[in-house]
Amino acid sequence: MPAILSVAEAVPPYEIKQEQAMEFSRELFSEKFYDIERLLKAFQNGQIEKRHFVKSMEWFKEDHSFEEKNNAYIESAVFLGVKAIENCLSNRIFLDREVDYEEIDAIFYISTTGLSTPSIEARIMNVLPFRTNTKRVPIWGLGCAGGAAGLSRAFEYCLAFPEAKVLVLSVELCGLTFQRNDLSKSNLIGTSLFADGAACVLVCGEKVEGLKKRAVPVIVNTQSTIMPASLDVMGWEIKNQGLFVVFSRDIPTIIENWLKPNVSKFLAENKVDLNQIEHFIAHPGGKKVIDAYLTSLELPATMTDISLDVLKNHGNMSSATIFYVLKRYMEMDVLPGAYGLCTALGPGFSSELLLVRWES
């Protein structure tokens, strides 16, 4: 079965503490909301301590056109994407040797926070010496579910081509979508939660040998699910000024009621019980989302410790966040035979699940 052999991050340069972000929002939103201090509790209750961005705090205090923000997206996405790929292919914690760019057969590029044609992976191929016939699969619009979905599509590619080496690259620059003049509660919550980040994963077919240095997660199966009549739960509203965040306050309740039946069906089809899952590799959409995972699946709280730690130090980086969580699991000494469940939720409203098993 296809296996995940390496994963690496590229952290943006500007670190912003949550206290700084809260004070910034107090100044911006205080005239709009009479109960601003109550609403600002979201910054504290979310358990985020710091986040990283491609622009400084001063940049966010000024108005920027959609064109200016999107140009910044292209420039920073290429820079961070190159760095994430370099780190992934040279990561000697996971790999027995560095992987040459010429060995890569396909690149899946995942993002929902900017637009680019030619797409970002094409621009990166003009910086790094990939083969000119490397296949390119840009995927846009899956939001927070995009990282898990990218792994699923890479899994299917490697099933078809068992000698393939595939990169799944996610770059999400949520900060560049910030709207100074959107005085809505959704924007306020997004300001307390979203961040920038990039990460790259190397997925290889079962006939690839001589790379892995330790036990790695093999992808057993995947499942994609969409909830009918739920288009307004999460996403972007695209206007002349750019991307405006859409959040439903019902997201935690939807997760509690909808996720377990999907997970139970998926695991049953693969003849695995939920109590066999030792590692819960969950996209940390926010503290309330993590709590909803625990309630829905009736998991012990310790199963989300790593997701919470990523949330605390990086915030919600949309599709890239689950790769940060995955990296921490892969750095652990996981015993062969242990099962893990990757899960992420996104616009649609949709769910992406991957069942993995560590093998030496």
Per the DSSP assignment, residues forming a β-bridge with 216 are 359
159 touches 222 (CB < 8 A):
no
Q: Annotated catalytic, 144? A: yes
Would strands 350-359 and 216-226 be described as parallel, antiparallel, or unpaired?
antiparallel
| Cβ neighbours, 10 Å, residue 217 | 26
Q: Of the residues 144, 174, 200, 204, which is catalytic?
A: 144
What is the helix, strand, coil percentage profile of the chain, to 5? 40, 25, 30
Q: Rounded to 5 degrees, what are φ and ψ at 199? A: -160, 155
**Alpha helices, DSSP H, located in 90-234:** 120-124, 146-160, 185-193
Indicate the DSSP class of residue 310: H
Kindly state the tokens that stand for 231: 């288009």
Beta strands in 124-183 (DSSP E): 135-140, 165-173
Instruction: State the distance between the two ends of the chain, measured CA to CA, in whole angstroms.
Output: 13
Residues catalogued as catalytic? 144
